Chain A
Amino acid sequence: MREFRYERPATVAEAIRAVSHDPEADFLAGGTTEVDLMKDGVFHPDLLVDITRLPLRGVRRNGTMLQVGALTTMEELAADRTLVERAPFVVEALLRGASAQLRNMATIGGNLLQRTRCRYFRDPAVPACNKREPGSGCEAVNSVARMHAILGASPACIALHASDLAVPLVALDAVVHIQSEEGERLVPLTQFYLMPGETPDRENVLRHGELITAIDIPLPPPGTRSIYLKIRDRASYEFALTSAAVAVIMDGGVIKEARVAMGGIGTIPWRCFEAEEVLREAPATPDTFRSAADGTIRDPFVVPGTAFKVELAKRTLIRALTEVTS
């Protein structure tokens, strides 16, 4: 086998130090993406620093905030009563995001960092992938691409960010706690992910050695209605073709406040600020929903396999808005 070293430090500081001082080192949490990619020959870390036993697990209520330890599993977070009550669309995203087996292994920090499912990224026999080999090109653009992005995409990369969980979390303005040898910094999830641009290999603002320790989820006010609508070919065990996370506060037939994000269409989890603008103080009518949808899908970059997603995404959002406001 291809050999690598494995360490299991006792403290967060030691783990961060171990990775920071070895450019070929990586953290290992649930491993549900990372180990697959190692087996497939896409990742070749020389050192894996196992953080699974570090005290970064658990969900705490902190006023109007839910502070989620990065090593909390998807299943644990999905069972959190406060979340079920106050932001059920996060729970729906978790439950639709993976099978029970995966939810018991995968962590919340790792979920936010999951790598794209692009078939061209995941097969090292494909020479052209800017995400895997910077500067090598993009095979997906010229090939069969159904599960790919239409927003934030470019000829350099159309890889989709496949997380379901991240979609409602960007809608709620979740905040990521990032620890490094220099200390802690907080980054809003809406600013955490990077557009591929010319450097699709850089997916987020994390620098080598930085570790996500927690995620703050602001709880929407009581009375908020929310939905996570996930559209896919088969009924389960598949990534989204399109998805919409919507939370609204209603006053009669008028939308007072709206949070909207979409998945399955963006190179990053897509916060839909334009849609929120349209919806705020607007009547919950089909016309409102249509113009929110039109405002969201602007200047899509499509290839033949993804062209249908432009309209599907709009209708997905319209359906989500219709259901959550009715």
Chain B
Amino acid sequence: MTTIQQPRILGAGVNRVDGPLKVTGQARYPNDFNLPGMAYAAVVRSTIPSGRIRRMDTTAAEKSPGVLEVITHENADHLGEAPPSFVKNPQPPLQDDVIRFYGQYIAVVVADTQQNATAAARRIEVEYDRHEALLDPHDPRAERIKDPWGEDTAWGDVRTALNRAPVMIDQTYTTSENTNNPLGLFTTVASWDGDTLTLHDSNQWPNMIQQVVAAMFGVPRDAVRVLTPFVGGGFGAGLRCWSHIPLAVMAARHVGRPVKLELTRPEMFTGLGHRTASINWIRLGATRDGRLTAIEHESLTTLPLDGDEYEPCSSVSTWSYASPNVTTRDQQVRLNIPWTNFMRAPGDAQGNFALESAIDELAWEVGLDPLEIRLLNYAEVDPKTGRPWSSNALRQCLEVGARRFGWSERNPEIRSMRDGHELVGYGVAGVSFFWYQQPCSARVIVKGDGSAYVRSAVTDIGTGTYTIMAQLAAGLLGLEVDQVEMQLGDSSMPVGTAAGGSGLTAALGSAVHDACGRLIQKFVDLAGTDPFSPLANVPFEDIEVSEGRLFRKGEPTRGESLARILAVHGLTELSADGNSTPNSPEQLGMTPAGARGARFVEVRVDEDLGRIRVARIVTVNDGGRILNEKLARSQILGGTVGGVGMALFEETVTDKDTGRIANATFGDYLIPVNADIPDVHIEFVGEPDAFNPIGVKGVGEIGLVGVAPAIANGIFHATGKRIRALPITMDMLMD
């Protein structure tokens, strides 16, 4: 792997500040916590997709060795409604006898050891009244929700434009259900002390968990403390308050002891949601020279019976390319399935596969280079509003990527390149990722020795938040990175938003930026009250900060260290709170652009066996300002692996009659192994983004997007076969 330095936008690739803790085993993840007197919980899940529990026999379980308590809907606490966050959270478990999907929690067993709890859970016998389940998205009885988020979009006149278009593409693209599969098994350790509750919990948003649990158990929010300083990955799986969390809390209340509930891998498949399958119907109209005149994009995705989900697959078609006529519509269908949920690049991953496949088809149809057609239709301004972008280096991503990849060496004919048994193909895809940012807050404190610490309730799911925020604060306070201590993942700290939507860096970074500005102001004000200070009477605008000192711009000797200012005023520390709220596009007169990117892949397909191999990947991304080149590269690389998985391997398989997930193990659900991932060339381009004060766009998800269509497009170039369904497997390519 190589990365080309672009110093203007690239921050130093310093190592993770939490790296030593992690590699020496000192970072404590939720399942590492064992409290005195702790009991263990095991869940029981339904084995039908729809119906009612007629009878549960818990006698054998209750008599099982070490069992402390068996909780079913018959003796569960009545819990309060779960408030929504930006989406619905699952309603409290065990409140009725209704089965809504296969794998729903129907009991929890608490025992003195994990083994005893698990053994007892298997002794519970259940009789059901089985109802017919809705499992097929095409089932006419299933409820359809049109325009679920009020985001269906239309401008121009797509109907007329399509009718008049000299060239049209009209195709359907589908993607499979995928499961997030963070490596760390989600765990909740719940511990009551009177009416206050402490949770060590795996999630991506401690304040949300705090709020939901408080509401369910009828206690003030401040009575619940959620600790998530470390979590073993999320990929979106930790963005809701899943039902095992209140189960652990309820269990702890029942037995009067701390309770640990650690999900098993199969339980992770049903208990934390999954990326919805999608059907995308796309019609493109274009001129004979490949200029888009119309885009129509409709999507259908799935929903559980009682949940909701924000998965606007068609939205990518409103901001990716310039077209005078665009219509996008999304629909959802409710089924008896486990919850659908965010998974790295929700909506975008699926919608981009469809759009970038269709654009590729159009290129072949009009005889244009697939790279050229993307450059030709580049959207100079936001095609929906006509406003300028806050930044958009899609063109540069495509051009730089093409050079690094050697795109020009490609023989444009299909089936024209081969190496032994293998047909070789080159594929390209563009990526225009969504923009997302939520309010966030942070506190920055400078201590007597001049070092600082930063606090926020947000968590670092492994992306590097600890490190990049330490770098950012150090830069703003004029300190070294190792002089800034980060304290995250505690709901009692300043309220933070989700580690999700690629939005945390902008949200928290802007809050840290705000707090540092306010803190410097406080120091300046303080110095101003000291007539002997060299900074007295220096206006704030003229202050510079470096090496732990404030000084007058251009006069480095006229200054004072932060530590000295505190000492002079007899203070042990000085702190400031910072907040960030997303700017308004109307006020700024620009459209916030998410990250942009381009993917170039070389694929090899065994002509007889259909076996597919990705031989090379070049991924170029515009993430605005990159705070840490090494960690950003790590995010892109991880996303690329996820993209290869989505393209070629990952499929959550559901039995069509029972709704049971049939491949809920790491042996059966295929994620790429090292040998499936080729050399990946990663590069960053672009400018600091104008929409937030720190210039970042967030790169947690974009790495995944576009990999699948680039592979599919490369397979078409290699074989002449257009595969419009993911994952692409060898049986689809055998002649």
Which residues from chain A sit less than 8 Å from chain B, CB to CB? 1-3, 41, 117, 119-120, 123, 125-126, 139, 142-144, 147, 231, 233-238, 241, 308, 311-312, 315-316, 318-319
Q: How far is the CB of B43 from chain A (nearest CB, A)?
A: 13
Q: State whether B660 touches A126 (Cβ < 8 A).
A: yes
In Å, the complex CA distance between A58 and B611 comes to 37
- Beta-carbon contacts of B637-679 to A below 8 Å, as 1s and 0s? 0000000000011000111110010110001101011011000
Q: State whether A144 touches B119 (Cβ < 8 A).
A: no
Q: State whether A319 touches B608 (Cβ < 8 A).
A: yes
In Å, the complex CA distance between A16 and B52 comes to 49
Q: State whether A119 touches B730 (Cβ < 8 A).
A: no
In Å, the complex CA distance between A147 and B667 comes to 11
Q: State whether A125 touches B660 (Cβ < 8 A).
A: yes
In Å, the complex CA distance between A311 and B730 comes to 12
Q: State whether A233 touches B730 (Cβ < 8 A).
A: yes
Q: State whether A1 touches B116 (Cβ < 8 A).
A: yes
Q: Closest 8 CB pairs between A and B?
A: A1-B115, A235-B675, A308-B731, A2-B119, A125-B47, A144-B653, A235-B676, A315-B608
In Å, the complex CA distance between A123 and B653 comes to 15
Q: State whether B670 touches A234 (Cβ < 8 A).
A: yes
15 contacts between A and B (CB under 8 A): A1-B113, A1-B119, A2-B119, A117-B668, A123-B660, A126-B660, A143-B655, A144-B654, A144-B656, A144-B663, A234-B649, A236-B675, A312-B731, A315-B608, A316-B609
In Å, the complex CA distance between A315 and B122 comes to 45
A242 nearest CB neighbor, chain B only: B609
Q: State whether B662 touches A233 (Cβ < 8 A).
A: no
Tell me if B118 is interfacial: C-beta within 8 Å of chain A: yes
Name the interface residues of B693-735: CB closer than 8 Å to any CB of A.
729-731, 734
> Assuming A233-B729, A234-B676, what are 6 further A-B pairs, CB within 8 angstroms?
A1-B115, A142-B657, A234-B670, A236-B675, A241-B730, A316-B609
Contacting residues, chain B, for A139 (C-beta < 8 A): 655
Q: State whether B673 touches A235 (Cβ < 8 A).
A: yes
Which of the residues B119, B609, B613, B673 comes within 8 Å of A315, measured between beta carbons? B609
Say whether chain A's binding surface is mostly helix, strand, loop, or mixed: loop
In Å, the complex CA distance between A120 and B663 comes to 10
Q: State whether B609 touches A233 (Cβ < 8 A).
A: no
A147 nearest CB neighbor, chain B only: B668
In Å, the complex CA distance between A215 and B62 comes to 48
Contacting residues, chain A, for B609 (C-beta < 8 A): 231, 312, 315-316, 319
In Å, the complex CA distance between A236 and B674 comes to 9
- Beta-carbon contacts of B558-593 to A below 8 Å, as 1s and 0s? 000000000000000000000000000000000000
Which of the residues A143, A237, A319 comes within 8 Å of B657, measured between beta carbons? A143
Q: State whether B655 touches A144 (Cβ < 8 A).
A: yes
Q: State whether A318 touches B608 (Cβ < 8 A).
A: yes
In Å, the complex CA distance between A12 and B112 comes to 38
In Å, the complex CA distance between A233 and B667 comes to 12
In Å, the complex CA distance between A142 and B611 comes to 27
Contacting residues, chain A, for B672 (C-beta < 8 A): 234
Contacting residues, chain A, for B734 (C-beta < 8 A): 308, 311-312, 315
Contacting residues, chain B, for A316 (C-beta < 8 A): 609
Q: State whether A233 touches B670 (Cβ < 8 A).
A: yes
Which of the residues B116, B611, B648 comes within 8 Å of A231, measured between beta carbons? B611
In Å, the complex CA distance between A120 and B656 comes to 14
Contacting residues, chain A, for B113 (C-beta < 8 A): 1
Q: How far is the CB of B44 from chain A (nearest CB, A)?
A: 10
Contacting residues, chain A, for B421 (C-beta < 8 A): 319
Q: State whether A144 touches B731 (Cβ < 8 A).
A: no
Name the interface residues of B45-66: CB closer than 8 Å to any CB of A.
47, 65
Q: State whether A236 touches B673 (Cβ < 8 A).
A: yes
In Å, the complex CA distance between A287 and B45 comes to 55
Q: How far is the CB of A262 from chain B (nearest CB, A)?
A: 14
Contacting residues, chain A, for B668 (C-beta < 8 A): 117, 119, 147
Q: State whether B47 touches A233 (Cβ < 8 A).
A: no
Contacting residues, chain A, for B115 (C-beta < 8 A): 1
Q: How far is the CB of B183 from chain A (nearest CB, A)?
A: 15
Q: How far is the CB of B609 from chain A (nearest CB, A)?
A: 6
A119 nearest CB neighbor, chain B only: B662
Contacting residues, chain A, for B673 (C-beta < 8 A): 234-237
- Beta-carbon contacts of B607-636 to A below 8 Å, as 1s and 0s? 011110100000000000000000000000
A3 nearest CB neighbor, chain B only: B65
Name the interface residues of B105-164: CB closer than 8 Å to any CB of A.
113, 115-116, 118-119, 122
The verdict on A143 contacting B656 (CB below 8 Å), with A233-B729, A311-B734 known, is yes
B613 nearest CB neighbor, chain A only: A235
The verdict on A119 contacting B663 (CB below 8 Å), with A234-B673, A236-B673, A237-B673 known, is yes
In Å, the complex CA distance between A289 and B660 comes to 42
Contacting residues, chain B, for A142 (C-beta < 8 A): 657
A241 nearest CB neighbor, chain B only: B730
Contacting residues, chain B, for A144 (C-beta < 8 A): 653-656, 662-663
Q: How far is the CB of A150 from chain B (nearest CB, A)?
A: 13
Contacting residues, chain A, for B611 (C-beta < 8 A): 231
Contacting residues, chain B, for A231 (C-beta < 8 A): 609, 611, 730
- Beta-carbon contacts of B228-262 to A below 8 Å, as 1s and 0s? 00000000000000000000000000000000000
In Å, the complex CA distance between A238 and B730 comes to 15
Q: How far is the CB of A163 from chain B (nearest CB, A)?
A: 15
Q: State whether A143 touches B118 (Cβ < 8 A).
A: no
Contacting residues, chain A, for B649 (C-beta < 8 A): 233-234
In Å, the complex CA distance between A55 and B730 comes to 45
A117 nearest CB neighbor, chain B only: B667
A229 nearest CB neighbor, chain B only: B609
Which of the residues B122, B613, B662, B729 comes within 8 Å of A143, measured between beta carbons? B662
In Å, the complex CA distance between A241 and B118 comes to 34
Q: How far is the CB of B96 from chain A (nearest CB, A)?
A: 22
Contacting residues, chain B, for A147 (C-beta < 8 A): 668
Contacting residues, chain B, for A233 (C-beta < 8 A): 648-649, 670, 729-730
In Å, the complex CA distance between A142 and B667 comes to 21
Name the interface residues of B393-431: CB closer than 8 Å to any CB of A.
421
Q: How far is the CB of A13 from chain B (nearest CB, A)?
A: 33
Q: How far is the CB of A48 from chain B (nearest CB, A)?
A: 16
In Å, the complex CA distance between A14 and B116 comes to 32
Contacting residues, chain B, for A117 (C-beta < 8 A): 667-668
Q: How far is the CB of A32 from chain B (nearest CB, A)?
A: 12
Contacting residues, chain B, for A126 (C-beta < 8 A): 660
Contacting residues, chain B, for A119 (C-beta < 8 A): 662-663, 668
Q: How far is the CB of B154 from chain A (nearest CB, A)?
A: 39
In Å, the complex CA distance between A147 and B122 comes to 28
Q: State whether B730 touches A312 (Cβ < 8 A).
A: yes
In Å, the complex CA distance between A139 and B663 comes to 14
In Å, the complex CA distance between A318 and B608 comes to 10
Most chain B beta-carbon neighbours within 10 Å: one of A143, A231, A236, A241: A143
Q: How far is the CB of A259 from chain B (nearest CB, A)?
A: 22
Contacting residues, chain B, for A234 (C-beta < 8 A): 648-649, 670, 672-673, 675-676
Contacting residues, chain B, for A318 (C-beta < 8 A): 608
Q: How far is the CB of B730 from chain A (nearest CB, A)?
A: 7
In Å, the complex CA distance between A40 and B264 comes to 11
In Å, the complex CA distance between A41 and B118 comes to 10
Contacting residues, chain A, for B656 (C-beta < 8 A): 143-144
Contacting residues, chain B, for A311 (C-beta < 8 A): 734
In Å, the complex CA distance between A143 and B659 comes to 11
Contacting residues, chain B, for A3 (C-beta < 8 A): 65
In Å, the complex CA distance between A238 and B670 comes to 8
Which of the residues B118, B608, B654 comes within 8 Å of A1, measured between beta carbons? B118
A307 nearest CB neighbor, chain B only: B731
Name the interface residues of B596-611: CB closer than 8 Å to any CB of A.
608-611
Name the interface residues of B75-105: CB closer than 8 Å to any CB of A.
none
Contacting residues, chain A, for B613 (C-beta < 8 A): 235
Contacting residues, chain A, for B116 (C-beta < 8 A): 1
B45 nearest CB neighbor, chain A only: A125
In Å, the complex CA distance between A301 and B453 comes to 67
In Å, the complex CA distance between A89 and B113 comes to 46
In Å, the complex CA distance between A314 and B613 comes to 21
In Å, the complex CA distance between A234 and B122 comes to 34
